[in-house]
Amino acid sequence: MTQYAIRRALTIVPVLLGVSILVFSFVHMIPGDPALAMLGERATPEKVAEVRQRLGLDRPIYQQYIIYLGKVVQGDFGISIVRGDPVAKDLLRRFPATVELATSAILLALLFGIPIGIVSAVWRNSWMDSASRVWALVGVSMPIFWLGVMLAWFFGVQLGWLPTGFRLDSATEYRPWTNFVVLDALLNGSWGVVRDALRHLLLPAIALATIPLAVIARMTRASMLEVLSREYIRTAEAKGLPQVSVILRHALGNALLPVMTVVGLQVGRLLAGAILTETIFSWPGIGLWVYEAIGSRDYAIVQGASLFIAVIFVTVNLVTDLLYAVADPRIKYD
Amino acid sequence: MRFGRVILVVAAALLLGSAAPALAQTFVFGAQGEPVQFDPAVITDGISSRIIRQVYDTLYQFKAGSTEVEPALAEKADVSADGKVWTLQLRRNVKFHDGEPLDANAVVWNIERWMKTSHPQHANQLKAGQTFEYFEGQFGGFDDKSIIAKVEAASSHTVRITLKQPQAPFLQNLAMFPFGIASPKAVEKWGTDYGKHPVGTGAYKFVEWKPNQEVVLEPNPDYWETKAKNKRVVVRNIKDNSQRLAALKAGEVHAMEGVNPDDVRVIRADPNLQVLLRPTNTTGYVAFNYKVKEFQKKEVRQAIAHAINKKAIVDALYGGTGLVASQFQPPPLWGHNKELKDFEYSPSKAQDLMKQAGFGQGLSQITWEDGKQEPLSFWYMPVSRPYYPNPKEIAEAMAADLGKVGIKVQLQTVEWAVYLDKRKNGQLPLYMLGWTGDNGDPDNFVCYFFCNPGAAREGFYSNKPLADLLLRAATLTTQSERARLYRQAEQMIHDDVARVFIANNQPPLGFSKKVKGYVPSPLGDERFNTVEVQ
């Protein structure tokens, strides 16, 4: 197991190297001179040349890449072209907001997705099954951007129940410690801040959870249906075990393995979805930061954040792989 | 069941405090994005400049809602007869937010910092990749290139600035936000990090910047002018226009910029909200490439000017905030020519002109000077700009108008940076672009485009008499004489159909009706100290 874990972890290196080449090339392949995009209508040829030199864009692309990679290895993701701040520092400062949102979304998706999948499978072809399948289809097809805007308009503007954006109200006093607002407030026992933070978290988390929820519900249903048709389930039922026990203890445990894979993959989608959700809800995480950086062509931020997200993505998939062994003792890694 | 109850209880707890916390006397402004930093000398973006306007004062300032200037930190300014020596008398008893006095030494220190690349607080910024872009643009460059020959403290509160040659818009330039006077002590204390710890003499002190969220300001109790009428200012960063509007409707912000043209009607229809317009300072135009043989014929350019129904475009696509443009300078500028008679919308006249030019059968193919032929493409920008809020729709409307008189164009666009690149290299045959003024001076509007005859950037347009006239106007110090020359320049541009000017826009701002005392500025130069939230 340990050997497998190390071997598996080492495969991350070429993957990340590939990602870094891809990200670097894509960003540089976007048509148009970033210096010109930054200067806009007021650009003069001298100014453009000066900015190109300042950004190192006048060097051959392979040189730019080698310099970049050398720095990344040392944890230096470069300096923001627009703001002049170190990218790595800003990444770490914004990361907790994204993690808080993504974690809430995945929890919501699990909390509702798995029960919906179970109900759907157990009462197959009932109205509940049809409703949940329709809901799952709608959820998967729903554009996050549209859903986010609708949620904010309905609950924020029409009903006035929840805020339309941000992590906290402007008037809420909060001293960051870990930058996980809910966690900090809980540790401080500031219940007012906890409530305010949760109110702000709810709508973006729902928007972000919609697709994973639908996917998890569908996967749970399919997996449960397969398990429920197995002979050991029939044996358990024949033994006269209560249905709840059969479903939750015997069926669900075995049905969860494929669901775990899906959850692992959804984490990547959550990070991508966060760009839209954070923009709609002015959520100060990595997504909003990247969105603004793309607009201002801040190469350093786009590259740094993409690479960082790739690291998270492959790490989560590695952890998911390793967790298989915990979930299913029959799995052995040699 | 138990699970359902838990959900209900949590939901109720969340919703129970749904009333927004008291924001009384806090003015919350919804900005379009994240500021860059707050060192006025090095920033160029509008979002940072909004904060800078509140924290700093300039020596002269723009009057509220106007492009005219009035004394600010300098109580008065005298200029020598040859227009080269300016003597500025500073206001007394003004202090920076850190308690340091505002005196002639502080002002000289600031100007030398902007001007001299060897100044320690200039050199360190250059090393950090920053540039003093506005100073370079407005005052000719740095060190020996600068139009400023010398700056000195003539007494404790008198600053003398000697120029190498007269500069007509000198006070206008000094009134621009990049020339906010910073506390020398604070700049020296923070070095390149100063932009995160701004210290000026303005109506507000900087309190806090929460990245990607908001900037918080509090009133300066010792302010020399109108003291703030609110207790706190919060500028929130809401990138998405629709979400900013949602926040305004939900009462989470009191004001917003970046209103979509279609949303102007939404705000006007809401009994709790109102729209205020910034006086126009922006012009959208259609430009020709003079390497295209067909556009070298004046009749073709005139035909295009007569063919476009500007009023219909402005009425339909500017959300009620646009004005038909007759010339380059918008009406509030003092160089605007009120006498100028615009080309009227007349498809029949346009058709006659096309016949005279030899294109009675229509025009769909163009020939470049090098003999290359291609279909006539009409380029529109891929991004919304203040002068063209809906570029694609506006381009479609213009293409339809041109089609009616036999000019068949193919609409084209490309990524914004590429668009600007193609324009810079003179590769666009017929294209849309525009300009937003920086300081209310006509020179800033017209000279950039017409002072370099034959420039590729301007479609190789060459009009030497026009350029000479504009260069002369820039060195005169009598405004009435300058105004006469700029009016004459507008007439020359019109007579030669150098461009077709389409619209001036009055950028809309959305407000809660609780807000009183906000005066929109044509330069986006609003100060929040007069704003009350009732």
Nearest-angstrom CA–CA distance, B232 and A117: 50
Kind of pairing between the strands at B377-379 and B410-412: parallel
Whether residue A39 has pLDDT greater than 80: no
CB nearest B433 (choices: A41, A90, A152): A41
Note the pLDDT of residue A32.
Answer: 66
Query: Is the pLDDT at B3 greater than 50, yes or no?
Result: no
- Report chain A residues whose CB lies below 8 A from the CB of B192: 84
Shortest CB distance from B17 goes to which of A36, A195, A291? Answer: A195
Query: What are the phi and psi torsion angles at B207 (to 5°)?
Result: -110, -55
Decide if pLDDT at B8 tops 60. no
Q: How far is B347 from chain A (nearest CA, A)?
A: 32
Quick check: helix, strand or coil at residue B101?
strand
Q: Does the structure show a pLDDT above 90 at A75?
A: no
Mean pLDDT, residues B497-512 taken together: 96
CB contact under 8 A, B250 and A157: yes
Comparing A185-194, A255-264, A282-291, the range with the smallest average pLDDT is A255-264
Instruction: Give me the helices (H) in B160-287, please.
Output: 170-174, 184-190, 241-249, 261-269
| Mean pLDDT over each residue of chain B, to the nearest integer | 91
CB contact under 8 A, A161 and B130: no
Give, in order, the Cα–Cα distances in Å from B7 to each of A102, A162, B100.
20, 16, 57
Distance of CA A37 to the CA centre of its chain: 29
**Separation CA B204–CA B218 (nearest Å):** 5
Out of A198, A199, A279, whose CB is closest to B239? A279
Query: Which residue in the set B23, B129, B211 is minimally distant from A54, CB to CB?
Result: B129
Of B13, B21, B246, the CB nearest to A169: B21
Give CA–CA dist A157/A168, Å, rounded.
Answer: 17
Segment B414-436 mean pLDDT: 87
- Give residue for tokens 């909003």: A288
Q: Nearest 5°: phi and psi at A43?
A: -65, 135
Strand arrangement, sheet containing B158-163:
B74-79, B85-90, B158-163, B148-155
Chain A / chain B CB contacts < 8 angstroms: 140
Instruction: Residue A169: list chain B partners with CB under 8 A.
Output: 20-21
The band of B248, judged by pLDDT with boundaries at 50, 70 and 90, is very high
Q: Any idea which residue has 């072809």 for tokens?
A: A125
pLDDT in tens, B42-101: 987 888 999 999 999 999 999 999 888 999 999 999 999 888 999 999 999 999 999 999
Length of chain B, in residues = 534
Q: Which chain A residues contact residue B247 at CB under 8 A? A: 156, 164-165
CA distance A158 to B270: 12
Give the integer Cα–Cα distance in Å for B364 and B160: 60
Contact B417 A36 (CB under 8 A): yes
User: Concatenated DSSP letters for B388-436?
Assistant: -SSHHHHHHHHHHHHHHTTB--EEE---HHHHHHHHHTT--SEEEEEEE
CA-closest candidate to residue A103, choices A306, A323, A316: A316
Residue B386 CB neighbour total at 10 angstroms: 21
Q: How far apart are CA A280 and CA A208, in angstroms?
A: 11
Tell which residue, B29, B76, B75, has the closest CA to residue B54. B29
Q: B243, A33: Cβ pair inside 8 Å?
A: no
Q: How many residues does chain A have?
A: 334
Q: Inform me whether the C-beta atom of residue B416 falls under 8 Å from chain A C-beta atoms.
A: yes
Check CB contact under 8 Å for A292 and B33: yes
The residue of A149, A170, A248, A280 whose CB has the most chain B CBs within 10 angstroms, and thus the best one to mutate to test that interface, is A170
Average pLDDT over residues A114-127: 88
The pLDDT value recorded for residue B171 is 93
Identify whether the C-beta of residue B56 lies closer than 8 Å to the C-beta of residue B194: no
Contact A280 B415 (CB under 8 A): no
Q: How confident is the model at residue B1 (pLDDT cuts 50, 70, 90)?
A: very low
Task: Give the C-alpha separation, B128 to A79, whole Å.
Answer: 10
Contact A160 B33 (CB under 8 A): no
Taking residues A228-250, report their average pLDDT.
79
Residue A43 CA to residue B383 CA, distance in Å, equals 17
A138: which 2 tokens?
A: 């709608």
Range B189-213 average pLDDT: 94
Q: Is the pLDDT of residue B283 over 50?
A: yes
- Model pLDDT, residue B27: 96
CB distance B224 to B93 below 8 Å: yes
Q: Over the stretch B133-180, which tens digit does the pLDDT of each residue have?
A: 889 888 988 999 999 999 999 999 999 999 998 888 899 999 999 999
Q: Which of A103-107, A110-114, B128-132, B198-202 is predicted least confidently?
A: B128-132
Looking at the complex, report in whole angstroms how far the Cα of residue A9 sits from the nearest Cα belonging to chain B. 34
The span from the CA of B334 to the CA of A327, in Å, is: 77
How far is the C-alpha of A175 from the C-alpha of B475, rounded, in Å? Answer: 55
Question: Which residue among B210, B236, B243 sits closest to A280, beta carbon to beta carbon?
Answer: B243
Average pLDDT over residues B460-489: 92
d(CA A235, CA A205): 41
